[in-house]
């Protein structure tokens, strides 16, 4: 289990989101996989920040679906994040290997979903 100050989680999450946005300004096609990965990381860190806010340890896992389920135990409204969490989780795993690559559309979708999770969690913390 990992318990860090909320601002430590959000600082890391903001860096991931900033990386996504910067990469999306350029030719997305060559960086789509990286954008998807950092979008997932942003969401993961925000979910862990919320868990810490609720005085819950953030487990050393990368499953956004599991993190949302844990967050739902403190706030049932987190249910609304399940679809975005599931898609971001797929993006982060699917494109880590040479046989698969994200499209520009998937990268922009990942960025949108991460930003949505960020906004939702920021209202909660």
Q: Mean pLDDT for each 10-residue chunk of the chain (125 residues)? A: 79 97 84 94 97 88 94 97 96 81 93 98 96
pLDDT digits (tens, 9 = 90+) for 41-75: 999 999 999 999 999 888 888 899 999 999 999 99
Q: What is the pTM of this model?
A: 0.92
- How far is residue 65 from each of residues 24, 32, 70, 75, 85, measured CA to CA in Å? 25, 22, 9, 15, 6
Q: In this structure, what are the phi and psi dihedrals at residue 78, rounded to the nearest 5 degrees?
A: -65, -15
User: Which residues fall within 8 angstroms of residue 106, CB to CB, at 6 or more apart?
Assistant: 32, 36, 91
Rounded CA separation 94/101 (Å)? 8
Rounded CA separation 30/69 (Å)? 33
């Amino acid at each position: 289990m990992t318990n860090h100050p909320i601002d430590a989680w959000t600082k890391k999450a903001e860096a991931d989101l900033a990386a996504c946005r910067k990469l999306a300004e350029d030719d997305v096609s060559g960086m789509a996989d990286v954008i998807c990965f950092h979008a997932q990381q942003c969401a993961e860190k925000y979910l862990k920040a919320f868990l810490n806010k609720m005085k819950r340890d953030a487990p050393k896992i990368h499953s956004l679906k599991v993190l949302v389920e844990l967050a739902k135990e403190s706030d049932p409204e987190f249910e609304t994040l399940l679809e975005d969490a599931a898609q971001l989780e797929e993006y982060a795993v699917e494109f880590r290997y040479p046989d698969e690559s994200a499209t520009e559309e998937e990268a922009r979708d990942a960025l949108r979903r991460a930003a949505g999770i960020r906004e939702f969690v920021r209202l909660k913390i």
